[in-house]
Structure 1
Amino acid sequence: MTGPALNADLISFLRSPRSRSPMHVEGDELVSDDGAERYPILKNVPRLAGDPYVGSFGRQWNRYEVVRPEEDEATFEAKTGVPPSDMAGKLVLDAGCGGGRYARLLGEHGANVLGVDLSSAVDKAAEMCAGLPNVQIVQGDLLDPPVVEDAFDLVFSIGVLHHSPDPRRAFAAIARRVKPGGRLAVWLYRKNIAPQEWINSGVRAVTTRLPARVLEPLCVGLGAVGSVPILNRTLNKLVNFSAHPDWTLRVCDNFDWWAPAYQSHHSLAELRSWFEEEGFEDLVELRPMKSGRLYDWTYDHDLIIGSGVNVAGRRKV
C-alpha cells in the first residue's frame, strides 16, 4: 500500500533545505523553483533528507503496529492541550511524525497536516495516512525543517526532540514555523534524579551499541517483566522498562528507550525557558493523564523514569 496522492497545497509550504527556495513537483521529483535543486519523491513522500542517526526509529515504527485510536486521541489531547476535533480545517505541523499515528488522527478529524520525520518511518506514516488527502508526509530534518516559517496554527512534537543531537536548536527551528497567535506543544523526557540518570546512561552506553537482532529479544524480555505488577512498580524506578498494558506497545516502548543513538533529559524549568526565549506566552504545563497521590508525588520529584516534561504556549502576535 502506498500513501495518499501528493497534496499540492501542503507541498506549497515546503522549502528547500539548502536554499530555502519554494518547491514544486516535476514528475517523481520535488524541484526548487530556480531548478537548481532536485529531491526524489518515493511512495508519494518527498525525500528532503537522509537517515544519518535515526535508523532505529525506521525499524521500530515499520515493525510494530502501534496505532490505538482511542488511546491516541486521549494522548494527543493530554500532550498538546487541544482536542483533535478542534483542529478541523487548521494547518498543523507534526514535527517528528514517526509512524504517523497523530498525523492520521488529525487528518481523520479534518486538519490539514504536514508530517515531517527524518527516519524511514515516513514509509509507515504514508501507509497509515493512505486515503487522507489532507495529510502530506515528508522526510526532513527538524534541525533545519524544509518548511516555511510563520505559517502553522499548531506545531507539536511528542517525544522527538530529545532524540536530536541538538534539542535546543531543533526546538527553535520548529518554534519558528508557528504563526503569530498559533500554538506550540512539546513533550520531552524528564531529567530524573542523579542515581537514576547514572544507571540508565550506563546501561544505554551498552544497548545503543547492540545490533537490533540482539536488543529486540532483550526488549521482549523486559516486556514480560513489565507485566508483573510488583516489578513494574519497583524495579523500573532503577532501570527503565515499560509497564503499558498492551504487549506490543510495551516492547515498542522498550526499544524506543534503549536503541536510539541520542537521548537527552530535561527539566520543566528548562523547557519553559525555551518557550519564553522563542517568544511564546500563556505557557501551561500539561500534566500526565495518570494521577493519584503517590504518582503525583513521584512525578513531581522526578522519580518516574521515562516520564516527561510537557509545555504548550501561544506565539506572541
Structure 2
Amino acid sequence: MKLRLLEWLVCPACSKPFSHTPLACVGDETTEGLLSCDCGCCYPIVGGIPRVVEDAFVLFSAFAEKYADLIPNARPVRVDNHPSGEALRRTRESFGYQWTAFSTMVVDFRENFLEYIHPIKPSFFPGKRGLDVGCGFGRHIANAAQFGAEMVGIDISSAIDVTYENTRNLSNVHLVQADVYRMPFRRGTFDFAYSIGVLHHLPDPEAGFRQLVSVVRPEGVVFIWVYSKKRRVVNALLEGARMFTTRLSPRVQMALSWVAAAVDWGGFVVPHRVLSGLPGIGPVVRRLTVPRLKVYGNYPFQVAWADWFDRLAAPIRFYYNDKDLDAWLKRSDLGRTLVSPTGLFGWRAYGERVKQAHISTRS
C-alpha cells in the first residue's frame, strides 16, 4: 500500500480516518500492516493491499494468527452476516475464481475500454483522480492509469490480487479489497468513478450505483456499463441455462464455458475472420457482420472463454434499458446525462454530479 492512499481512506463504519501501523515494508510501500479506527474497527494490509472487508481476518487467518497480539479486539465477521450475504459470498467466490483463472492480460483492451466509456476520450484522464469499482483483473484500471489518471481500484474478491500483479508497474494505481456497499473512502474524494460490467452482478445494483456517486466530488463524473434487456429471447434462454449452470462447481463451469466458447469461436468467429479477409467479399462481410463477431474477432480465444464463464457462472445477472438508467441518473441528482447503447448487449450511462447535491446512499 502506498502511503498516499491513506489520504482518501476512512473507516466504512464511522467515516473517520484510519491509524496506520506498518508491519512490513518494501521501499515506501506497506506490504503488511494494520488499519485501525477509534470506533474499534481494524483491517489488515496483506500483500500490499488493504483488506477493508468485514471478514478480512477470516479470509487472512494466517495474518490474524501471526499478529494476534496486535489485534485483540478484531472480531472475525463472516460476509454471510451482510443483508445480502449469501449472494455476495457466491459472487465473490465466482469472480475470484474467474479472474484468477483468466489472469493474463492477453491484449491491452484499450479500444474495448474506450467503447465502454464513449464519448469520453483519453484526454479526459490526465491530472484527475478516479475510482474503478469492480476492477476484476485490471484491464480497465490499467488503461485509465496509462491515460494519465491517478487510479484507485476496489474489488470484493481475490481478483484484486490479480489486478495488483497486472498493474504493479504503474505507480499511479492504488488497490483496496472492499465492498461497494461499504466503500472506505471520504465523500467527494474522486474526480470521476466508473463501474464497467459489475453493477448488474450485485444484489441491489442501484444501491451500488448510489455509493459510486457518493464518493465523487461535486461536478465530478460518473459512468457505468450494464447488460441490456434488448435481446429478450437470448437473455431468456441464457437465464434458463443459468438455473442449472450456476449450481455447478467452478471446475465444471470452466469446462462448460470452454465448450460454449469453442462452438462460438469455431462456428462463428473463425469463419468471420477468414471471410472478412478474402479479396472481393471481405468488405461486404465486414459490413454485414454483427458487432459481437467483430469484437471477438479482435481478441484471442481466452477472451471468449472468460466471457462464457461469466455468462454461465455469475450468481446474479440483471438487465436494463435506457429508461431504467435514466431513472438511476435522475434519482442520484446527476446532470448533463447521457445514456447510449453498445449494440444489443449493453447500455452506457454518463452523468455529472450537480454541485451541492446531496446523494442518499440508502435504498
TM-score (norm 1): 0.84
Q: Does 1:215 align with 2:253?
A: yes
Cα deviation, 1:273-311, whole Å, max 9, x if unaligned, reads 1011101111112443xxxxxxxxxx4xxxx4xx11111
CA contact (8 A) 1:103 1:115 kept: yes
Aligned residue runs from structure 1 range 89-128, under 5 A: 89-128=127-166
- What is the letter of the counterpart of residue 262 of structure 2? A
Aligned residue runs from structure 1 range 136-215, under 5 A: 136-192=174-230, 194-215=232-253
- 1:229 is aligned to 268
Q: 1:232 to 1:142 in 2, by over 3 A?
A: farther
- 1:15 is aligned to 10
Which structure is larger by alpha-carbon Rg, 1 or 2? Answer: 2
Q: Does 1:244 align with 2:296?
A: yes
- 1:78 is aligned to 115
Q: 1:214 to 1:103 in 2, by over 3 A?
A: same
More helix by share: 2
In the alignment, the residues of structure 1 paired with residue 336 and residue 245 of structure 2 have an alpha-carbon distance, to the nearest angstrom, of 40
Cα deviation, 1:33-71, whole Å, max 9, x if unaligned, reads 42722111111011111572221111111111453554x
CA contact (8 A) 2:216 2:353 kept: yes
Cα deviation, 1:243-299, whole Å, max 9, x if unaligned, reads 8232000000000111111111111110111011101111112443xxxxxxxxxx4
CA contact (8 A) 1:150 1:178 kept: yes
In the alignment, the residues of structure 2 paired with residue 241 and residue 160 of structure 1 have an alpha-carbon distance, to the nearest angstrom, of 23
- 2:327 is aligned to 273
- What is the letter of the counterpart of residue 269 of structure 1? K
Instruction: Give aligned-pair identity as a percent.
Output: 29
- What is the letter of the counterpart of residue 5 of structure 2? L
- 1:291 is aligned to none
- What is the letter of the counterpart of residue 79 of structure 1? Y
Cα deviation, 1:135-189, whole Å, max 9, x if unaligned, reads 1110001122122211211100000011111101101111111111111001011
Cα deviation, 1:167-213, whole Å, max 9, x if unaligned, reads 01101111111111111001011114544343222211111001011
CA contact (8 A) 1:91 1:112 kept: yes
Q: 1:169 to 1:242 in 2, by over 3 A?
A: farther
In the alignment, the residues of structure 2 paired with residue 199 and residue 139 of structure 1 have an alpha-carbon distance, to the nearest angstrom, of 34
SS of residue in 2 equivalent to 1:281? strand
In the alignment, the residues of structure 2 paired with residue 102 and residue 226 of structure 1 have an alpha-carbon distance, to the nearest angstrom, of 25
> What 5-or-longer segments of structure 2 have no aligned partner?
23-31, 56-78, 80-88, 273-291, 356-363
In the alignment, the residues of structure 2 paired with residue 80 and residue 287 of structure 1 have an alpha-carbon distance, to the nearest angstrom, of 11
- What is the letter of the counterpart of residue 225 of structure 2? W
Q: 1:103 to 1:231 in 2, by over 3 A?
A: closer
Q: 4+ residue stretches of structure 1 with deviation over 4 A?
A: 230-233, 240-243
Deviates more, 1:216-225 or 1:242-251: 242-251
CA contact (8 A) 1:29 1:40 kept: yes
> What 5-or-longer segments of structure 1 have no aligned partner?
1-5, 234-239, 289-298
TM-score (norm 2): 0.74
Q: 1:243 to 1:312 in 2, by over 3 A?
A: closer
Q: 1:248 to 1:167 in 2, by over 3 A?
A: same
Q: CA RMSD in A?
A: 2.4
Q: Which structure carries more relative contact order (alpha carbon 8 Å, separation 6+)?
A: 1
